[in-house]
Structure 1
Amino acid sequence: MPSVFSPGGNELLAAARPPRGWKNLPGTEALDYGWPIEITLREGDPNVGKPAREFRHENEFSGYVAAYSEEGQALGLERFQDWHAHLGGTMFPMQGYPDFSPFYIEISEIFGGFNFGDGVAQIDLKEMKLEWAC
């Protein structure tokens, strides 16, 4: 069973859920709801604490394994692709890998129930850099 933290527990989330579901609200109606954020441990992610780089030879130094490399596919890293936001670990950029520290947050366009118009935001929490790609 995965380690999950939900503030208020699942009962609170179920009670607060709009009748039409979380993802189906128009923008103006969505502002009336607090969107649930769930924290789940990404067990088995070999890239935790390792900075991602664009080119394979750069990743060899840190030991980072790109998700769509042969090694990444053998490790099944695509299992981490279904996310709305995550801290560190295996990165799924829309374009190239930014030159970030391993301490980053990656946010998809639908995080928090808002559609930012396509893309992925990445924020390096150590260097305070922002990358947006669509």
Structure 2
Amino acid sequence: MARRSVISEQILEVMSAGGRHCWTLDDLQGDLVDRGLEPDPSSVFRAVTRLEDAGQVVRVPGDDRRGRFEVAGDHHEHLVCEACGTIEPIACSIVASLADQVRVASGFIVSGHQVVLSGTCGRCAGPADDAGAAR
């Protein structure tokens, strides 16, 4: 495996420190600048691509065209607010159960999946908005 760059190391430190669930490339560049580094956007992109290829970060599926990334770890699904763009993790055992059902019914072994539930978060919906509830 190739030696990781200073930018890659700093990206992993930023993401591991938390503060948010996932980061865009712009978020990461801003956080690196806050740490006293001055990476250009292409360096951040290349570092994230290397980390993704190495399995250390994963792309978070979303409804917009901006790449969002998180540290690789325990698998979870995502809730995406269509109003404010917030992405929240959520544990979902239903999908694991579905994968087992698919295996039993067809012999197909599911090796991965990505589920994104889109809608409106509680902050954007407000306490009285039940109109957007699942039908």
TM-score, scaled relative to structure 1: 0.27
TM-score, scaled relative to structure 2: 0.27
Q: Kindly indicate which of the two structures has a greater share of residues assigned to helix.
A: 2
